[in-house]
Structure 1
Amino acid sequence: MKIGVITSAYPEFEDDPHGIFVHRLMKEISKQGYDVKVMAPYTGGKTEYLLDGVKVERFHYFYPKRFQRLCGRSGMIDNVKEGFFVKFQVLTFILFNLVNSVSKLKDRDLIHVHWLIPNGLGALIVKKIFKIPYISTIYGEEVYLSKRYKIDFILRSFINNSNRSVAISKGTLESCLKIGLKTETFDVIPFGVDTDFFRPLNINRDLKTFQILSVGYLIERKGFEYLIKAMQNVLKKYANVKLKIVGSGPLEGDLKSLINDLNLDKNVEILKNVSDEELLNLYNSSDLFILPSIVDSQGNTEGLGVVLLEAMACKVPVIGSNIGGIPDIIQDGETGLLVPEKNISKLSKAVINLVENENFRNKLANGGYNLVEDKFNWRKIAQSYISIYTQISNK
């Protein structure tokens, strides 16, 4: 079967984190013998290449090409805030997305769309012209965008015309139901983690230091400022605790200034994006992983929290905010700890609790590891999607 993929984010190279979870799914589906061709917007580098058996073609969405600004590393939602010029590129993006969908994916047997807003129109037109069915994966950002710009009727139309839709978490499904979509039109299939790669390693740790790790784009909805502020309270009791934040993004300067203003330079460090191998070592060198995500000022939040899964696959205990899709991953007190978003006091207390209680840390680490192996393995997730592909193709 020939699968066409329309997505706004996709890696350019092996260690590129941009849309990496989409690639890991399509890579696994490709390994099962499916011919996968991805169409994504240009973000730099090559326009055509093969990545782990997946064919990738990138299209330009604005001319002159050097002025393309919409599809950068921070994602469309954050890039579009830069002003009218970038907002205008949303229109040209939709146009060129449509043209390329029709011209490059008309030989496919099925289209798989990621982020129906802004990618759904191409799939819909291909279905109407060439009778090629499509399925859609909903992350939550589409719902947020449709509500913000009062175009939820467009999202409903794309989903209603989709042969099947998949929400990545119960939280994402709930947000879809709030705009009038029906439960029976959806499957809930989470995104996962490559457990062959992200795994426990025997690494000699610095036993004098309690190392905390956090990973993600440096944007508002990741909530890093609250984690940094929580470190103040933690360090009052345990001076040997250190925090590493791995990522880059528009808030890098603000976060570094916050670290400096709070005199946390010796205990809090921001690292630029690292290779997968380096990230694997960082997970395994850490005593605790934290994802302090929030509902941001625009109403957007965490669809699932894949980095939590990566940490859990390495047998690292985790703390996450009780929002979005994170509760699908963390069963409080069993596979990790849930804390209210933006609550610096409760986040601090949760950290101190785990610093003090090694047995509890081990319990959470083992519980998280077993959950990932059972529910969030990419092989199983790919099989769930392949089952949907097969059902649609057999109709």
Structure 2
Amino acid sequence: MKVLMLTSSYPIEGSPLGPFVRNVVRGLTWQGVEVGVLIYSTKRKFSSYSMDGATIYEYPYALFTSPSLHTHRGLIPSVKNSWLARLQVPGYLASTSYHLLRIVKGYDIIHAHWYLPSGFFACLLKPLHRKPVVTTAWGAEFHLPNNLLIRRMLSFVHNRSDAVVAVSKYMKDKAHEYGLNTQQMTVIPNCIDISHFSLPRKKSGKIIIGTARRLVPEKRVSDLLEAYAKLKSGGTELWILGDGPQRSRLERISKELGITQTTRFMGMVPPDDVPSYLSQIDIFVNPSVQEGMATANIEAMAAGCVVVATNGYGNDEVMTHGVDGLLYEGKNPAMLASLLSTLAADARKRMKISEKARKESTRFSFGHTARAYLLLYKANTALIERTLKKY
């Protein structure tokens, strides 16, 4: 079986974007599937090469100006924030269409990641490529404005795809809010390479509380700073891994709260270095109120961290409160502070939850997720003939 992944995020050129898509690719190649990945690039020329057992196809979209669709960690944020990125959209549309139709000839199925823009492209060009389309909703598409235009675009992709996947039950429910019929929607969770995060725990003499995420408003890192400032236990440090437009504001807040001496802003950490940092973090906090299913939670659990996350947003599908993690109501720094204080003062409880978390994280190995996708592909191989006859 040959599967072409169409995605707008993938960890190429040192990019931290789309590691969860890469995990699916690695799992599928491990299962013997021949995988190609089609991704737009900042390069001026088309290139193809092998990576993780898959063939990566990088194609250009801006030949005469500096590529700007990568400047804000994703296509949609870039278009929202950059006039030059908006000017480059027509070139992106034309280049994506051309390269998709050219490359897909050698593949059996198109697997589009995100309804927009990849799923839209794959479904719009279906009369020309005549291949079955599987579309995965990772989360961002169901946090867009719920207006008529967005609903119609999402509905077009949803109804024209031969199979649709949500990464959590929460995302499936969100799809329903946009008027989509989710009865035939399959839930296949995010996955990670468990072995990559199974490093020995490192002791520093201090209790390290940390988070790893993009510093944007919806990730609510300010709640973590406020909660940390309320901690009654000494001997702690706060590590914030990641970067983003809110960094200067968050640094200012930490100064106002008087916690700069024990708070470290690490900046963007290369993906390959994240496991080493997680092996030193005792308590990992995810204060976000916008997720599909946070891969960061699973990575932290696999690393043996005690994860404290907002209740809902797919987090309650990953962990059970009080067993292999802790959940709290989002936008509630006081409740978060209480949980952090309890954990910081109880080493035995931290150890017990840590051990349970590591065991539970194995449910999300890329092998398990890849097998689920492979079953979905095989269930839809009959669609190849049906699709060819339809157009």
The answer to whether TM tops 0.5 is yes
Instruction: State the match for 2:251 in structure 1.
Output: 256
Alpha-carbon separation, structure 2, partners of 1:137 and 1:80? 22
When structure 1 is superposed on structure 2, of 314-323 and 121-130 the one drifting more is: 121-130
- Deviation digits for residues 231-276 of structure 1, max 9, x if unmatched? 1101xx1232111111122222222222233332211111123344
Aligned to 1:286: 281
Residue 366 in structure 1 maps to residue 383 in structure 2: no
- The residue number in structure 1 matching 2:50 is 50
Report the residue type matching 2:120 in the other structure.
L
Could you tell me which residue of structure 2 aligns to residue 297 of structure 1? Answer: none
Match of 1:298 in 2: none
1:116-195 residue pairs with structure 2 within 5 A? Answer: 116-145=115-144, 147=146, 150-195=149-194
Residue 44 to residue 367, structure 1, CA distance change in 2 (3 Å): farther
Deviates more, 1:263-272 or 1:383-392: 263-272
* Amino acid in the other structure paired with 1:206: S
- Measured in 2, the distance between the counterparts of 1:227 and 1:262 equals 12
SS at match of 1:238: coil
Name 1:206's counterpart in structure 2.
204
Distance 1:121 1:287, change over 3 A: closer
Contact map agreement 1:213 1:282 (CA 8 A) in 2: no
Hey, what's the Cα distance between the residues in 1 that align with 2:117 and 2:272?
33
| Aligned residue in 1 for 2:11 | 11
- Say which of 315, 334, 338 aligns to 1:326: 315
Match of 1:317 among 306, 313, 321: 306
2:213 pairs with one of 196, 201, 216 = 216
Residue identity opposite 1:217 in structure 2 = R
> Structure 1 counterpart of 2:367, which letter?
R
For residues 121 and 104 of structure 2, what CA distance do their matches in structure 1 show?
A: 10
Task: Give me the whole-angstrom Cα distance separating, in 1, the residues matched to 2:237 and 2:44.
Answer: 36
Cα distance per residue 1:100-136 (max 9 Å; x no partner)? 2112222210000001211123312443223210101
- Count of residues in correspondence between the two structures: 382
User: How far does residue 309 in structure 1 lie from its aligned partner after superposition?
Assistant: 0.4
1:2 equivalent to 2:5? Answer no
**1 CA distance for matches of 2:106 and 2:145?**
30
Structure 1 residues 258-267 or 317-326, which shifts more? 258-267
Q: Which moved more, 1:87-96 or 1:138-147?
A: 87-96
> CA, structure 1 residues 200+175, in 2 after alignment: closer, same or farther (shift >3 Å)?
same
Aligned to 1:302: 291
Between the aligned partners of 2:104 and 2:337, the Cα distance in structure 1 is 50
Q: Which residue of 1 is the match for residue 375 of structure 2?
A: 387
How far apart are 1:200 and its partner, in Å? 4.1
Q: Distance in 1 between matches of 2:259 and 2:148?
A: 40
Decide whether the 8 Å contact of 1:320 with 1:330 is kept in 2. no
Conserved? CA contact 1:117–1:146, under 8 Å: no
Once the two structures are aligned, what percentage of the paired residues are identical?
26
Q: Distance in 2 between matches of 1:5 and 1:311?
A: 27
> 2:225 aligned with 1:228, yes or no?
yes
Letter in 2 for 1:224: V
3-state DSSP of counterpart to 2:144: helix
The alpha-carbon deviation at position 72 of structure 1 amounts to 3.4
Quote the offset at 1:377 in angstroms: 1.2
SS in 1 for 2:107: coil
- Unaligned 5+ runs, structure 1: 295-300
